[in-house]
Chain A
């Protein structure tokens, strides 16, 4: 099992904008480099990418949740 950690402190978003579907749903497979969410830091947005491939992603952080740098965002098998 692997964890995807937040590279930055800020607000976590699971989709590109409120009217878009989430980048990944719980249970999806993930390739290395896939965008799994956005972190908003001081009004600028940064993509969070998976560093390794995996299956069955399970999000720990909720959409719009405030998070600190290094906080776990999702588990991956």
Chain B
């Protein structure tokens, strides 16, 4: 078992990890930038180390400063959380190289999954269906034309080194393709220092469905799926589990494919295999694997009863998987919404400020993961996630009713948040029936702009 853990993150996820470690009797060290001295994660950890100025580059992304803090406080392990250095293979290597345990997969596994082309190849090799497209990198326009036979139009041209929705172009015809391909090449080279491209068929209406896996380097299990189709600018805002779109047969197939991929890359820790699900064709396609704990992990915890962060810490401490696949079962339905410091009435403009009043929802089936406290000054230097509200109930319908109840209990004074968005979504007939896809919310936001502004 680990003895002393450095949490290389901030905000709600740092708080979440500190809690899991303390539940296991592991001592905790928080790190913080000069802007975060008063943060909840600093207050809750057993020790805290200032690692630099507010700019992330000089603090939360500063590998040297983080390793020094770990050495100075006698830590034996580092948890990267999500974002910042969580999927940085060099960081995983540096932590291991310093004689510490990295709570996550090896640098090798992070590298394979970090490059879109090698991830796609690894998935295909493990028998996971991938979106029809190029087998690997597409070398030149001529080779690109040949791939069109596989994909048809519209086709996506993506930068191999891209990610998070960046470096993507869509062509609807051969003429558009011949114009876009060289542009994409130049753009990828300028933006990522790597002009490598690959191509994928555009799946028109798709759901985003992802499978949670846990692995110990040799064995792997899944903890079923989450659906995160409600997205704004490719950022998830509402996540739930299980997905109402899958039949039991396809669910088992999907989850088994994620386990096969995790085993194939000798994965260790918690990870998420992401897919697009095409309702009409009733088929799923691999998109990418995230080699970290994800923001939306609590919905899986709610329906399976598994503490994913605690399991990550146990695995990192050298234990084999304690949970067998047959022991994982789904109970009820869970929904998470992301409360961001953004004003939905003003095109989601960021709204940093001071928490004047805080009333946290509670009662049966309600969980509130957050770094907020009354008087907390939200710094403007980091992302806008303030809190995650997670509700769990017997059915999806009951979970939505409970979500509305909990949102009405919640009061965050002094800030604008995305709470009004979720009250409006929870009342929407399409959301109620779950009849949505990944581009649904953007259209809904345009149609409902006036309602949100009021």
Q: Chain B 53-72 against A: per-residue CB contact (8 Å), 1 yes, 0 no?
A: 11100000000000000000
Chain A residue at smallest Cβ distance from B379: A9
Q: Which of A8, A10, A42, A64: most chain B Cβ within 10 A?
A: A42
Q: Are B35 and A66 in contact (CB under 8 A)?
A: yes
Stretch at the interface among B73-81, B86-94, B330-338, B381-389: B381-389
Answer yes or no: A29 CB below 8 A from chain B CBs.
Answer: no
| A8 and B380 form a contact (CB under 8 A) | yes
- CB interface residues, B 364-406, toward A, < 8 Å: 380-384
Instruction: Kindly state whether residue B352 has any CB partner on chain A within 8 Å.
Output: yes
Residues of A within 8 A of B35 (CB): 66
Per-residue B-contact encoding for A17-51, CB less than 8 Å = 1, 0 else: 00000000000000000000000111110000000
* Chain B binding surface, main DSSP class: loop
From B55, B341, B342, A66 is in contact (CB under 8 Å) with B55
Contact B55 A10 (CB under 8 A): no
Residues of B within 8 A of A9 (CB): 352, 380
Q: How many A-B residue pairs have CB under 8 A?
A: 35
Smallest CB–CB gap between A62 and chain B, Å? Answer: 11
Would B383 and A42 count as touching, CB distance under 8 A? yes
Instruction: Report whether over half of chain A's contact residues are helix, strand or loop; otherwise say mixed.
Output: strand
Measured in the bound complex, the distance between the Cα atoms of B350 and A8 in whole Å is: 10
Query: Which chain A residue shows the least CB distance to B190?
Result: A19
Chain A residues 1 to 22 lying within 8 A of chain B, measured CB to CB, are 8-11
- Contact between chains at B341 and A42 (CB < 8 Å): yes
| Chain B residues whose C-beta falls within 8 Å of the C-beta of A64 in the assembled complex | 55
Q: Quick check: A11 and B381 within 8 Å, CB to CB?
A: yes
Closest chain B CB from A27 CB (angstroms): 27
Question: Can you name 12 A-B pairs with beta carbons within 8 Å?
Answer: A10-B380, A40-B381, A41-B380, A42-B350, A42-B352, A42-B383, A42-B384, A43-B382, A44-B349, A44-B350, A66-B35, A66-B381
Interfacial residues, chain A to chain B (CB-CB below 8 A): 8-11, 40-44, 64, 66
Q: Apart from A10-B352, A11-B381, A41-B350, what are 10 other A-B pairs with CB-CB below 8 Å?
A: A10-B380, A11-B54, A40-B381, A41-B380, A42-B341, A42-B350, A44-B350, A64-B55, A66-B35, A66-B54
Residues in B lying within 8 Å of A, measured CB to CB? 35, 53-55, 341-342, 349-350, 352, 380-384
The 7 closest A-B pairs by CB, nearest first: A42-B350, A9-B380, A42-B384, A10-B380, A66-B54, A41-B350, A41-B380
